[in-house]
Amino acid sequence: MSATPRTSPTAGLLNAVTALHNARARQRIAHLEEAIVAAHRAQHELAEAAKTTASYQASLAAGYIDLSFLETP
């Protein structure tokens, strides 16, 4: 039966620090991925709002929207 090799205390510390760093990195990556999804969603909403604004302005300019009831005598 062969003996399993033991790691040095320095190697064990390095392994522990690496494991901790990897765990923190995974959490940070998950947070950044959520932020990217939120940013894409916000950008999509802004693009849709811009399309709606352009459509409204075009309809208003073409005379399809009557705002005369808003004017006071």
Asked if residue 19 lies in contact with residue 25, where contact means CB atoms within 8 angstroms, the answer is no
Residue 29 lies in a domain: yes
Tens digit of each residue's pLDDT (9 = 90 or more) over 1-39 = 555 678 898 999 999 999 999 999 999 999 999 999 999
Residue 67 lies in a domain: no
Residue 27 lies in a domain: yes
Helix or strand or coil: residue 35? Answer: helix
Domain containing 40: what range? Answer: 11-59
Q: Model's pTM, two decimal places?
A: 0.63
b (16+ CB within 10 A) / e for 14-27: eeeeeeeeeeeeee
Residue 17 lies in a domain: yes
Helix or strand or coil: residue 3? Answer: coil
Residue 32 lies in a domain: yes
Q: Would you give the distance in Å from CA 60 to the centre of its chain? A: 35
Asked if residue 15 lies in contact with residue 7, where contact means CB atoms within 8 angstroms, the answer is yes
